Structure 1
Amino acid sequence: MPAQRGLGVAVIGTGKMGADHVRRLHDVISGARVAAVADIEAERAKSLAATIDGCTAYTDPAAAMASGEVDAVLIASPGPAHEAALIEALGRDLPVLCEKPMTPDTASCLRVLEAERRLGRRRIQVGFMRRYDSEYVKLKGLLDGGELGRALMLHQRHRNLAMPPGFTDDMLITSSVAHEVDATRWLLGQEIVAVAVHRPAPSSLAPAGMNDPQFVLFETASGALVDVEIFGHCGYGYQVQAEAVCERGTVRIGDEQGPRVSVDGRWGGHVPPDYVERFEDAYDREVQAWVDATRRGEVTGPSAWDGYAAAAVCEAGVVSQREGGRAEVELIERPAFYG
């Protein structure tokens, strides 16, 4: 990889998230360039590639990865397409940053884990970007520092202005609460062993047939309890908040930031409309860290094991969602490869 040309990245998927990563790699991140984009929507890929010198558009991810200009892969396509792209990248020994979910279910996750283990070295980082958010990093530091004592409970809230058409009850868990799953495992440093999903009366803003909001309860290996409010159609903006309740104190993140304005007999501030704005800095830090590590020949950040563990918790959540009651999380023994 010639230093002067930077890391050549193929971005797989050019929808909302993929296009934002293309912008990020081109305009924000140092040490990398967008060498290729791939999408089954040929015109969309071509239009995006045309905005970047030296970028080639493909409809086949494998063809993009085969380009001699590509040194690494960023996967931002829909979840069901991730397994094939990951296996292709591993077959070519290319480092990968894969947006969550790594794959949509544990069976496909295990196939990816096995392919990476056969390769003999880590190549996959999963895109749980909250680990790079400045507030989450500070919360993690406080919990690890020990001053507050052992974490007993973790309260989390995840509210969206509205969900896109076609969003389902299952996806409230697998696409949204998946972030709280990883945040819980990372912040507390332990696995989630059981999940229970409770459903209050649905909001009038929720689409017909969707149970929204929902209340999710995790049990961790050490006995900590974690609750998650997921509200997909809150109607006013995008909010993510967390509060850790520990033996000797509490710490809360996610309160509104920015200027508080008082005018015309009222006061208020800005609530971001979506995750792209709320976690813009986190995405920037995540991708820059991935590029830097890749250029050093390293893989850091959430691993394929983290992607698998999140999928297992989400599967248990969907079982509880459909059948009621408490569902235990089924995990294989963690391979030493991911120790």
Structure 2
Amino acid sequence: MTAQKTLGVAVIGTGRMGADHVRRLDEVIAGARVAAVVDIDAGRAKAVAERVDGCSAYTDAAAAMDDEGVDAVLIASPGPAHEAALLQALARDLPVLCEKPLTPDAASALRVVEAEARLGHRRVQVGFMRRYDPEYERLKTLLDEGAFGRTLMLHCVHRNAGTPPGFTSQMTINDSVVHEADAARWLLGQEITAVRVLRPTPSGRAPAGLDDPQLVLFETAGGALVDVEIFVNCGFGYQVRCEAVGEHGTARIGDAHGLCVNAAGRWGGEIAQDYVERFRDAYDREVRAWVDATRRGETTGPSAWDGYAAAAVCEAGVRAQATGERTPVGLAERPALYR
């Protein structure tokens, strides 16, 4: 891929996230175009494709990858479909941006890691968009510079206004806390070695059978501790916060210091209602960075190993939910490609 050529992207999955990425590539990101979309629902794929000039609709991911206009793949389908699409893309040596999770479990994620390692060079970037959020980037810089000495703890908050029908306690780990697992590994530069999950009496807003909220505790290889309050039916909006506690000071992000209104004897601001609104800029920056790197012939950002490590942490977290016990995280040996 040369910097002069427009990147033709096949977007796999045209649900909420996939459709938003189609819009982003078509309207926001320079240097790329949506060459194909894929969905098992042929009507939905066709409807999305018709809104983009020169875009073809497919129901089969492999067929879309073989489209002569496709240079790269963005995977936004449900997690269980990721492994097959990733392996098909790697078999064709196509660059991939894969929304989290890389795959739903550690064993399948490791298969993707091993396939990429056999290829001998990176092709997969995982969509952990928080790494592209300006506040997270600034916090990462402060910690890397040692501004507060060694980082001792991270205090994290992850709240959603509500959950869709069928949302389970396991999904609080696999769909939500997975972001804190990656963010903690990235911010600290350490692997997570063990997980505990504590559960207070459920909120009255929690659907029957859902443990909500929960407190998740990570131990890391460097001796830091990370606590995560996960509250997926808080009722008032979407909030993500992180406070780093160092030897000589602290730093906190996520307080949403935006527009503040004073009126009618009160002051206040607004709370984002979902992740698409809160991290809209981060998604733009993430996809722009992927497109730019791909056009240079590079693969940057969160790697397949990062996706695998997060999956392994989540597996341990789900076991810890079930047992109430401290649960070690088992990781395979890291291939040289990711060192």
**TM-score interval for Structure 1 and Structure 2 normalised by the shorter chain:** over 0.9
List structure 1 runs of 4+ shifted beyond 3 angstroms. 1-5
Deviation at 1:262, TM superposition (A): 1.3
Quickly say closer, same or farther: Cα 1:25–1:55, change in 2 above 3 A: same
What is the root-mean-square deviation in Å for CA atoms of aligned residues?
1.0
Q: Report the equivalent of 1:183.
A: 183
Q: Report the equivalent of 1:143.
A: 143
- Within the alignment, does 1:285 sit opposite 2:285 as a pair? yes
Q: Report the equivalent of 1:258.
A: 258
Deviation at 1:167, TM superposition (A): 1.1
Output one character per residue of 1:189-211: Cα deviation in whole Å (capped at 9) or x when no partner: 00000000011111111111000
Output one character per residue of 1:215-261: Cα deviation in whole Å (capped at 9) or x when no partner: 00000111111000001001011000000000000000000232111
Return the letter of the residue paired with 2:97: L
> For residues 69 and 204 of structure 2, what CA distance do their matches in structure 1 show?
51
> For residues 193 and 262 of structure 1, what CA distance do their matches in structure 2 show?
47
Output one character per residue of 1:146-200: Cα deviation in whole Å (capped at 9) or x when no partner: 1210000100000001112211111100110000000000000000000000111
> For residues 2 and 294 of structure 2, what CA distance do their matches in structure 1 show?
13
Q: Report the equivalent of 1:14.
A: 14
- Within the alignment, does 1:61 sit opposite 2:61 as a pair? yes
Deviation at 1:3, TM superposition (A): 6.0
Return the letter of the residue paired with 2:238: Y
> For residues 2 and 33 of structure 1, what CA distance do their matches in structure 2 show?
15
Deviation at 1:2, TM superposition (A): 7.2
Q: Report the equivalent of 2:227.
A: 227
8 Å CA contact 2:196–2:327 kept in 1: the answer is yes
Deviation at 1:114, TM superposition (A): 1.2
Quickly say closer, same or farther: Cα 1:35–1:2, change in 2 above 3 A: farther
DSSP 3-state at the match of 1:219: strand
DSSP 3-state at the match of 2:46: helix
> For residues 14 and 180 of structure 1, what CA distance do their matches in structure 2 show?
26
Equivalence map 1:1-339=2 (5 Å) = 6-339=6-339
DSSP 3-state at the match of 2:155: strand
Output one character per residue of 1:41-79: Cα deviation in whole Å (capped at 9) or x when no partner: 111111110000000111111111110000000000000
> For residues 269 and 291 of structure 1, what CA distance do their matches in structure 2 show?
34
> For residues 117 and 252 of structure 1, what CA distance do their matches in structure 2 show?
37
> For residues 257 and 31 of structure 1, what CA distance do their matches in structure 2 show?
33
> For residues 3 and 229 of structure 1, what CA distance do their matches in structure 2 show?
43
> For residues 5 and 299 of structure 1, what CA distance do their matches in structure 2 show?
17
8 Å CA contact 2:35–2:70 kept in 1: the answer is yes
Output one character per residue of 1:268-322: Cα deviation in whole Å (capped at 9) or x when no partner: 1110110001001100000000000000000000000000000000000000001
> For residues 151 and 223 of structure 1, what CA distance do their matches in structure 2 show?
9
Q: TM-score, normalised by structure 2?
A: 0.99
> For residues 3 and 325 of structure 2, what CA distance do their matches in structure 1 show?
55
> For residues 257 and 12 of structure 1, what CA distance do their matches in structure 2 show?
35
DSSP 3-state at the match of 2:337: helix
DSSP 3-state at the match of 2:301: coil
> For residues 73 and 240 of structure 1, what CA distance do their matches in structure 2 show?
29
> For residues 116 and 144 of structure 2, what CA distance do their matches in structure 1 show?
30
8 Å CA contact 2:195–2:320 kept in 1: the answer is yes
Deviation at 1:134, TM superposition (A): 0.1
How many percent identity over aligned positions? 72
Q: Which moved more, 1:115-124 or 1:89-98?
A: 115-124
> For residues 45 and 3 of structure 2, what CA distance do their matches in structure 1 show?
27
8 Å CA contact 2:73–2:96 kept in 1: the answer is yes
Return the letter of the residue paired with 1:177: V
Return the letter of the residue paired with 1:53: D
DSSP 3-state at the match of 2:196: strand
> For residues 174 and 313 of structure 1, what CA distance do their matches in structure 2 show?
9
> For residues 295 and 203 of structure 2, what CA distance do their matches in structure 1 show?
48
